[in-house]
Structure 1
């Protein structure tokens, strides 16, 4: 997908929003490598450190739905710009925190700002590009999650070692403040000015959409379980050292993720040209192809076998990042795109990312971490199979459910 194939507006909006997403994930992940220094400064327990991540996740989840709803009813460009400005300012303020409570409040505010971004930005991209490239455009947008997230972890450690934890927040907060002004200069994407707005309860009458929510919850639970417990698993079961585990898994995940996101998005768009449910098939296929490879990795007899199987499993699992947003927008009218994405993020963040680490930890306490990872794998397979059921409902009801036929 060459940027040169797009007009100047399309190229500008894709580059700017992908860059903002890149900064988004740097700001989100920067805190984790700073934990040891923050703990020493404020004399915190591990539980209090964990709250810094949990509070962000809860606030972020609760904010995505109302802010997505707002983006469908007002200027999406302004919602994006103000959200970026808000979270970047809160990131900068995190470096000024004089107590644990003030740092906790600052991280909660980061969650509010970031909650405004993804629903509005994803909807803006879908409104700005033809439907036939929707998954690929969303895939490029989602690359920021892998590259920015990995760079956030690396930058946090480097800056903290060089200058302390406070300058880390200062340095990563500034680019967002600049980008917020850049976003504000983007033209508003074309929308039907007089189109009737879709009531939120009506989306829940669409079986295919509801199944995407449930499937997304299951596979996000699995993915976040792998991320939160993967390093500890390879240390306990595969003989990795802490540094070796972090570097090996981080590099493999970024590389596999880049190829997986772009490859899965391209395949999804190609399948969508042949079948109305083609993008769903790409998502389901990715999860189901990934599962046996990740099972092989969990039971691998050596580090080399583990890393190879993990890379292949991660490649297929990351197929879904571009297509799932495209599917949500395929199933809903343009006036509901941000709301549909906001509800999806509300469900997966509140009921998956906030629960997965604790649930897997409780299983590990009782039956071992391998059993916990098997639980995550079972959730992944269940999510992949449920995505196949989405195909049934699209074949029965069409891509746009009759309940939404009156809305454009």
Structure 2
């Protein structure tokens, strides 16, 4: 299948100031989204001690949010495309922020699980709708860069959620950590509703309303290249989901660090992951011109990730492991920008919100949801180190699917 707009034909118009306002607010809410999601990981040791939880139960608390995202992202994104993306984003932010406050009020594992389900409901379509809003107000030649930068906001949120959450929890208790992040999210959601209007973002995009029919949605799954991009992106994010969830606990158990210091060290590695996501997205924009080349570059990123993760957890604790782990984190989410650019280039603009919802579904179904859950389940059986040593298998699988995407792209343009 040929892309809807070839890279060679893309013009480079001036970027309006309003676009940067939209980007800043949407990026800020994404940070809030992931802070609400990841603050839990910083307090794993406290919850384990207070409620006597297993690693499997902790992993399920972390994984239930991306699981709900995977289940609900497509229907909610489709409704957002139909009835207004900006209004939908405000509602999402209010829901996940209120649910985060409920996490701080939880008195048992079951109550915490119910609150985490609501966090997932609120966050379900934010990533897909948010990036659709951003690419609607920016030129097409910045798609991979913007996708990588926007998704790096997720890792920035993880950094802040783990770092700030761990520090606040260590000094004021884990409930205060949830409450602080919940209040900040409510403020950002209200600010977004004040500044961003559907009329302005839809006007810039020149899009038609989505027709709620199968015929209108068929372009979302048209062609092997597009479908492989969905699956491969999700498989690589298995690593990007597992490492942020378990690194704070890993540093507590194997480096014998106190909680606040372990969370701070883990936050540094998550920041490295965010930098890698952005720079790899920029590299995809600047170094490649075709869908085939984007897929091949993504496959190379996946192989690099597999080798570095394997090496990091093969050596013992110490400086060499930390260096290798930093390099591994740099590539953990390296395919986000190129995969997002492939999806945007292979689907019509009017369906970009729903197209990114399908990508989000794949990312969560194959990676972000099972990553922490499966790792926690394995940790109960083979230890946390043994579970982390199995992560490279996901990256190898992702590389194979990206390679299949490159072959399909070559055949489509032959």
TM over 0.5: yes
Q: Cα offset for 1:30?
A: 1.7
- Aligned alpha-carbon RMSD (Å): 3.1
Give the whole-Å Cα distance in 2 for the aligned partners of 1:384 and 1:9.
38
Question: Compared with structure 1, are the counterparts of its residues 327 and 241 closer, same or farther at alpha carbon in structure 2 (3 Å cutoff)?
Answer: same
Question: Compared with structure 1, are the counterparts of its residues 285 and 77 closer, same or farther at alpha carbon in structure 2 (3 Å cutoff)?
Answer: same
- The 8 Å contact of residues 236 and 335 in structure 2, kept in 1 or not, is answered as no
Give the alignment partner of residue 275 of structure 1, picking from 275, 279, 290: 290
Give the alignment partner of residue 339 of structure 1, picking from 354, 366, 373: 354
Q: Cα offset for 1:35?
A: 4.3
Give the alignment partner of residue 353 of structure 1, picking from 355, 368, 373: 368
- The 8 Å contact of residues 264 and 282 in structure 1, kept in 2 or not, is answered as no
Give the whole-Å Cα distance in 2 for the aligned partners of 1:392 and 1:128.
32
Which moves more between the two structures, 243-252 or 52-61? 243-252
Structure 2 equivalent of residue 206 of structure 1: 223
Give the whole-Å Cα distance in 1 for the aligned partners of 2:408 and 2:59.
40
Q: SS of the counterpart of 1:30?
A: helix
Structure 2: 5+ residue stretches without partners: 1-13
1:45 and 2:53 correspond: yes
1:170-219 deviations in Å (ceiling 9; x for gaps): 22112222221222231322232367566445533421122122212321
Structure 2 equivalent of residue 154 of structure 1: 163
- The 8 Å contact of residues 93 and 106 in structure 1, kept in 2 or not, is answered as yes
1:186 and 2:164 correspond: no
Structure 1 equivalent of residue 278 of structure 2: 262
- The 8 Å contact of residues 42 and 263 in structure 2, kept in 1 or not, is answered as no
Q: Cα offset for 1:164?
A: 2.7
Q: Cα offset for 1:257?
A: 1.9
Q: Cα offset for 1:132?
A: 0.9
Give the whole-Å Cα distance in 1 for the aligned partners of 2:48 and 2:76.
33
Q: Cα offset for 1:11?
A: 0.9
Give the alignment partner of residue 138 of structure 1, picking from 139, 147, 164: 147
Question: Compared with structure 1, are the counterparts of its residues 231 and 176 closer, same or farther at alpha carbon in structure 2 (3 Å cutoff)?
Answer: closer
Give the whole-Å Cα distance in 2 for the aligned partners of 1:366 and 1:156.
28
1:64-84 deviations in Å (ceiling 9; x for gaps): 121112122220111111101
Structure 2 equivalent of residue 327 of structure 1: 342
Structure 1 equivalent of residue 300 of structure 2: 285
Q: SS of the counterpart of 2:390?
A: helix
Which moves more between the two structures, 328-337 or 245-254? 245-254
Q: SS of the counterpart of 1:375?
A: coil
Give the whole-Å Cα distance in 2 for the aligned partners of 1:218 and 1:11.
31
Give the whole-Å Cα distance in 2 for the aligned partners of 1:135 and 1:48.
36
1:313 and 2:321 correspond: no
- The 8 Å contact of residues 100 and 119 in structure 2, kept in 1 or not, is answered as yes
Q: Cα offset for 1:327?
A: 1.7
Q: SS of the counterpart of 1:316?
A: helix
- The 8 Å contact of residues 210 and 351 in structure 2, kept in 1 or not, is answered as no
How does the TM-score come out when normalised to structure 2?
0.83
How does the TM-score come out when normalised to structure 1?
0.84
Structure 2 equivalent of residue 79 of structure 1: 88
Query: How many residues in Structure 1 have an aligned counterpart in Structure 2?
Result: 391
Give the whole-Å Cα distance in 2 for the aligned partners of 1:39 and 1:294.
27
Give the whole-Å Cα distance in 1 for the aligned partners of 2:209 and 2:79.
16
Which moves more between the two structures, 162-171 or 224-233? 224-233
1:362-397 deviations in Å (ceiling 9; x for gaps): 656666766644532122022113212212222333
Structure 2 equivalent of residue 58 of structure 1: 67
- The 8 Å contact of residues 119 and 342 in structure 1, kept in 2 or not, is answered as yes
- The 8 Å contact of residues 255 and 317 in structure 2, kept in 1 or not, is answered as no
Q: How does 1:162-241 map to 2 (within 5 A)?
A: 162-184=171-193, 185-188=195-198, 189=201, 190-193=205-208, 199-200=216-217, 202-230=219-247, 240-241=255-256
Higher relative contact order (CA 8 A, sep 6+): 2
Q: Cα offset for 1:270?
A: 1.2
Q: How does 1:233-252 map to 2 (within 5 A)?
A: 240-243=255-258, 246-252=263-269
Structure 1 equivalent of residue 5 of structure 2: none
Structure 2 equivalent of residue 406 of structure 1: none
Give the whole-Å Cα distance in 2 for the aligned partners of 1:366 and 1:106.
28
Give the whole-Å Cα distance in 1 for the aligned partners of 2:113 and 2:385.
33
